[in-house]
Amino acid sequence: MRQLSEFEGVWQLSRQIEDARAGLSGHLQGEARFEQGQGGLILTERGQLTYGLGAPLQAERRYLWREEAGGIAVFFEDGRPFHWFSAEETEASHDCPPDLYHVSYDFNHWPQWRARWQVSGPRKDYMMESCYTRQSEAPD
């Protein structure tokens, strides 16, 4: 299992989205930045999102990662709990009625790692896979 401090820094982010409900694919290319703050690491993901045939959009999202109970607890930007994972439990779920979010983390090729989300429910049916590759240094 990775220690929280090992995530600190800048990562190249490549994300693929397959939306079965809409019959569309999407791709995000950008960066993920883990910076100290709020008793853990603040993760800011930024990038250009292309979804279907639509014009590219700038996308940004923030989360808070903290070491808790022998693993890593992930919170939404507003402090609400999102999910928890550890070396023994690399899969987690988040129930957001009526939809269910299930994630599987893969750290087998560190310092490259992946997060694969399967989201299902009456409103959503998509798979999203994010690949994170460490950047040697932060861009100017």
- 12-52 pLDDT, tens digit per residue, is 999 999 999 999 999 999 999 999 999 999 999 999 999 99
Q: Looking at domain 4-134, which of 3.40.50.2300, 3.90.280.10, 3.40.50.300, 2.40.128.20 is its CATH number?
A: 2.40.128.20
Q: What is the domain partition of the chain in residue ranges?
A: 4-134
Kindly tell me if the per-residue pLDDT of 140 is higher than 70.
no
Q: What SS3 state is found at 3?
A: coil
Kindly tell me if the per-residue pLDDT of 99 is higher than 50.
yes
Backbone angles phi, psi at 95, to 5 degrees: -90, 115
Contact yes or no for 126/20 (Cβ under 8 A): yes
Contact yes or no for 17/27 (Cβ under 8 A): yes
Backbone angles phi, psi at 4, to 5 degrees: -55, -40
List pLDDT tens digits, range 44-80: 999 999 999 999 999 999 999 999 999 999 999 999 9
The model's pTM is 0.92
Instruction: Band the pLDDT of 87: cuts 50, 70, 90.
Output: confident
**Degrees, nearest 5: CA angle 59-61-67:** 155
